[in-house]
């Protein structure tokens, strides 16, 4: 087994690193992914559709009456 494979296996078994890894420079080297729009600043009335979405998103549940 090569050193590379050993490192790979060890890192997988480790899960989250024990120490905070160095900040990535990837932000500066982005591959061109269009940036998503954040829209939760906008105030909207909550309607049935939003409630349904939230329910299926696992955010909310309706406990019944």
Partner 1 sequence: MEWHAILAPEFADELKECGRIYMYRFKPDYTFFARPIDEYPALCRQAAAIMLMIQNNLDPRVAQHPEELITYGGNGAVFQNWAQYLLTMQYLSIMEEDQTLHLYSGHPMGLFPSSKDAPRVVVTNGMMIPNHSKPEDWEKYNALGVTQYGQMTAGSFMYIGPQGIVHGTTITIMNAFRKILPENETPAGKIFLTAGLGGMSGAQPKAGNIVGCITICAEVNAQAARKRHEQGWVDELIENIDELIERVKKAQANEETVSIAFIGNVVAVWERMDEEELFIHVGSDQTSLHIPWTGGYYPVGLSYDESNQMIREEPEAFKKSVEVSLRRHATAINRHTSKGTYFFDYGNAFLLEASRAGADVMAQNNIDFRYPSYVQDILGPMCFDYGFGPFRWVCTSGSSKDLDKTDQIALDVLTALHAQAPEEIAGQLADNITWIRDAKKNKLVVGSQARILYADAEGRATIAEAFNQAIKRGEIGSVVLGRDHHDVSGTDSPYRRPPIFTMGVVSPQTWLSTMSSEIALEVLPGFLSITVVE
Alpha-carbon distance values, 19 to 3, 15, 36, 48 (Å): 21, 11, 30, 44
Which residue's structure tokens are 């989250």? 16
Burial of 21 (0-12, 13-18, 19+ CB in 10 A): exposed
Nearer to partner 1 by C-beta: 5 or 65? 5
Least distance from C-beta 47 to partner 1, angstroms? 9
**One symbol per residue from 24 to 53: x for binding partner 1 (CB under 8 A), - otherwise; what is it?**
x-xx-xxxxxxxxxxxx-------xxx-xx
Binding site for partner 1 (CB under 8 A): 1, 4-5, 7-17, 20-24, 26-27, 29-40, 48-50, 52-54, 56-59
């Amino acid at each position: 087994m090569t050193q590379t494979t050993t490192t790979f296996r060890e890192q997988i078994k480790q899960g989250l690193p024990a120490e905070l890894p160095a900040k990535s420079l990837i932000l500066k080297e982005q591959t061109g992914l269009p940036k998503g729009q954040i829209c939760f600043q906008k105030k909207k009335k909550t309607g049935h559709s939003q409630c349904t979405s939230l329910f299926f998103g696992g955010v909310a549940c309706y406990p019944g009456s």
